[in-house]
Amino acid sequence: MLETVKYLLGSAGPSGFGSKSTAEQVTENRADLHSITAIITGATSGIGAETARVLAKRGARLVLPARSMKAAEDAKARIVSECPDSEIIVMSLDLSSLNSVTTFVAHFHSLGLPLHLLINNAGKFAHEHAISEDGVEMTFATNYLGHFVLTNLLVKKMVETAKETGVQGRIVNVSSSIHGWFSGDAISYLALISRNKRHYDATRAYALSKLANVFHTKELSRRLQQMGANVTVNCVHPGIVRTRLTREREGLLTDLVFFLASKLLKTIPQAAATTCYVATHPRLFNVSGKYFADCNETSTSKLGSNSTEAARLWAASEFMISRGPKAAFDLLRHLEF
């Protein structure tokens, strides 16, 4: 009850910020990010667009990948209209396609740019069951597996950039508190919904993908520390906000639910605050493997904190990429670590 009251009041936590803080407010002390190159997925609308706008306003060079080049160009135009000196590169990327991810990374490397910041923000809530071209349930493929591959292919560049520039690299995975709604075996459920439409539940599939983001953060942080890399990775819950994620289910019931929950909803500038805080604030130097909400560190679900399950999903992800999802599901449903 006390936490709810603090949320509604926007009370500042240990970071000095709270639920009512905006992305601009949390980056005020980072007014010069001209030395920073950032990739932000899902930056054509909603929270991602606001994250991109604020980082561009602070001087960062941005790479904006998107499925729709028109949407990316429109997003770029909106930012440039406010920040004429901003440097923004738009590129094609479909996170649900591993081939598209690989092509994007090769294109990015060909530009010869450094990479200090990777924000894995793009998200999809698939109300109807769908399978990616790689044979994986679409929400999981887009929200997690595409970002997993993207991050793994870019980590080397981030490590090199950090070593060459002395600036610590940061990876931010945008998850959701909904990750706590998933219970059970993640890999078994993924195998089930990737093979059989009858078992698909849109909300549970979305919760699974967001739990996977939490697992990814935990295991990647362990691996980066083991490497001695000057790169951190953290996970964020942006808060409840009405964005294009709900665009497929507009109507009276949705409108009523959001009206009743309006006191809990954040504005988009407020929802982008935690991402921008974790991506830029000096207070988070050397902080890695943590979960943040309302610009303050908090706890994941009990399952989300399970290191064994995080390592198991990582192994499953590598199998899915190297051997195909069917072989991975068959082998890893019963694999113990």
Based on the residue annotation, tell me whether 200 is a catalytic residue of this protein.
yes
Residue type, 296: N
Nearest residue to 43 (alpha-carbon basis) of 85, 82, 77 = 77
Q: Which residues pair with 295 in a beta bridge?
A: none
Rounded Cα distance, 58 and 75, in Å: 17
Tokens of 199: 């078992």
- DSSP per residue, 32-46: --TT-EEEETT-SSH
Say which of 7, 200, 277, 291 is annotated catalytic. 200
Q: Which residue has the tokens 């070593």?
A: 163
Q: What is the dihedral of CA 324, 330, 333, 337, to 10 degrees?
A: -70
Nearest residue to 266 (alpha-carbon basis) of 240, 244, 245, 292 = 240
Identify the three-state secondary structure at position 232. Answer: strand
Residue type, 223: R
DSSP state of 292: E
The residues carrying an active-site annotation are: 200
